[in-house]
Structure 1
Amino acid sequence: MPQPSGVGGSRGLLMTDHVISLYVSATKPGYIEHALTVSVDEVVVDLEDSVPSDEKDSARDVAREFLRAHPGVENLIIRVNQPRGTALYDDLSALVPLGLRAIRLPGARRFEDVSRFFSWTKEFVDQSSVRLELMIENREIFSDITRIVETFPQVKALTFGGGDYLADIKSESLESLWEAKRQLVAVARECGLPAYDTVFSDYHSRDLVFGDALRAASLGFHGKSVIHPAQIPVTREAFSDACS
């Protein structure tokens, strides 16, 4: 998992590097194979939002077979299921013993949700080897972020889940979305962590993709998630322009 380099902040944060993450659903194994051939910093195999509830087991099987076939892939990260219910434990028990160490955790609402995640990973691996990107998808989690980061040094980045955040606050306001982004960037900076922006759903318009990424970079995000390979060079260009 790429990390910003240099000095500054409690975890050596310097706002010079940016990380582009490409989401790929675990329901599409061919897409995962293709994603590893494109120039992207992280390939995020998704077991959560893009996977219907009745396909969770089969998607997990795809991720398991992929880890077996590609041991030690450094830029692979898996977005597991939310802390509530049994799906997250099933994800961890199936994948962590096979070498999964880079994990994106969605849906946590409080400190206890993250603590439960680490208590489960401890059953399968030394916790110090886990690298976690914590997704911020609701208003409630903001009050516990500092405590989480101070307690669990395995948290290496904060990522934003924009669609879920708007659903949580029952709003469609883009200004509400950007206000939450500003808050997340500020909290991440205080914690000495990089912050990665949410996806932009329109991948057909280069100008819209560029404008959204440029605004995120100018706000202080260190990277962004994308949903289509065509968004990668445009997003990277926007972050480079913002840093120049």
Structure 2
Amino acid sequence: MTTADRPSRLRRSELSTPGHSAKMITKASSSDADLVFLDLEDAVAPSAKDGARATIVAGLNELDWGTKTRAVRVNAVGTRWCHDDLTEVISGAGRNVDVVIVPKIKGPREVWFVDDLLTGLETKLGLEVGRIGIEVLIEETEALARVNEIAGCSPRLEALILGVGDLSASQGIRIGHIGGSADGADGLGYPGDIWHYARNQVIVAARSHGIDAVDGPFADIKSPEAYRREATWASTLGAVGKWAIHPSQVPVANEVFAPSPDEIKQALEVVEAMHKAEAEGLGAASYNGMMIDAATSRVFEGVLDRARRCGVLA
């Protein structure tokens, strides 16, 4: 598989689901999330990690996942669990795994390890080589410093995820919890969004290599307004989706990262005006008093394409 062959998946919402809980896996399978990832890392205690693999395999093989992207977050490459996470889950349910999410990477080396191991497993099991994609979490300062290099390091790589929880620890940022004070409301006196630089770096790196950028978790599940704010900031910068650590966050993400009716209406009008101008041999047109050209049209054609993929435009 080459970079051009990467599948195009919706990632408006990526729902985190503890891999040891059959009940929560069943609930996630019927959710409206675009992608569900069954977690073997932070959501599972060390004593439960080995047993959780079998629970995940059963869930992947026995439940109806509809059109959802099915993902598994393994433990970090340097841990004692990662190798067995991959071998046991892919051996048991490889035909029903679309994406592997790799946490706490620091550079391309960890991506290459997972890529090579997946290739060996696919070959051994008679699966299509290269079908299983990879998403990685950018949650260490070393990874953020090398994010552009990471973004282009593997044809399996489909998305970068900004993980602000571990990143705040890695960078020494003084906040109490994930998403708790991104706008300076913590009283520490920092103006604006403390994650703007990291978000922008991850999104630019992802876009420049033709892959997706996904915003990470927001811990305050009792504040949908704050979750919407963070999602809107990420969407404005070019991210395609956001993690949901609770099912209640899924509809917010699906709404924020899909074009609104007003955006679709504007996009249709701009593209139509540009097509009319081109038919008349003109390189630019006027729309509501603004000059539009091919570059403008390209932006709005992207809006329409995304609207079709999200099912909000025929």
TM-score interval, normalised by the smaller of the two chains: 0.7 to 0.9
Q: Distance in 1 between matches of 2:206 and 2:251?
A: 25
Conserved? CA contact 2:69–2:98, under 8 Å: no
Determine if the alignment matches structure 1 residue 214 to structure 2 residue 216.
Answer: no
**Gap runs ≥5 in structure 2:** 124-128, 176-181, 183-192, 264-314
Q: Could you tell me the percent identity over the aligned residues?
A: 26
User: Cα distance 1:180–1:147, how it changes in 2: closer, same or farther (>3 A)?
Assistant: closer
| Aligned position for 1:34 | 27
* Deviations 1:176-223 (CA, angstroms, capped at 9, x unpaired): 423211111111111111100011111222322221211111121111
User: Cα distance 1:138–1:183, how it changes in 2: closer, same or farther (>3 A)?
Assistant: same
Q: Distance in 2 between matches of 1:21 and 1:136?
A: 16
Task: Normalising by structure 2, report the TM-score.
Answer: 0.68
Listed as ranges, the matches of 1:40-79 within 5 Å are 40-70=33-63, 74-79=68-73
2:155 is matched with which residue: 140, 148, 153? Answer: 153
| Aligned position for 1:197 | 215
User: Cα distance 1:18–1:80, how it changes in 2: closer, same or farther (>3 A)?
Assistant: closer
Conserved? CA contact 1:23–1:43, under 8 Å: yes
Q: Distance in 1 between matches of 2:151 and 2:256?
A: 29
Listed as ranges, the matches of 1:84-233 within 5 Å are 84-97=78-91, 98-99=93-94, 100-126=97-123, 127-172=129-174, 174=182, 175-233=193-251
Q: CA deviation at 1:11?
A: 4.7
Q: Distance in 2 between matches of 1:216 and 1:199?
A: 12
**Gap runs ≥5 in structure 1:** 1-9
- Larger CA Rg, structure 1 vs 2: 2
Conserved? CA contact 1:188–1:195, under 8 Å: yes
**Bigger relative contact order, structure 1 or 2, given CA contacts below 8 A and separation 6+?**
1
Q: CA deviation at 1:12?
A: 8.9
Q: State the 4+ residue runs in structure 1 displaced beyond 3 angstroms.
A: 10-13, 70-74, 142-151, 173-176, 240-243
Q: CA deviation at 1:65?
A: 2.1
Determine if the alignment matches structure 1 residue 22 to structure 2 residue 15.
Answer: yes
Q: Distance in 2 between matches of 1:124 and 1:18?
A: 26
SS of the equivalent of 2:233 reads helix
Conserved? CA contact 1:77–1:103, under 8 Å: yes
User: Cα distance 1:71–1:86, how it changes in 2: closer, same or farther (>3 A)?
Assistant: farther
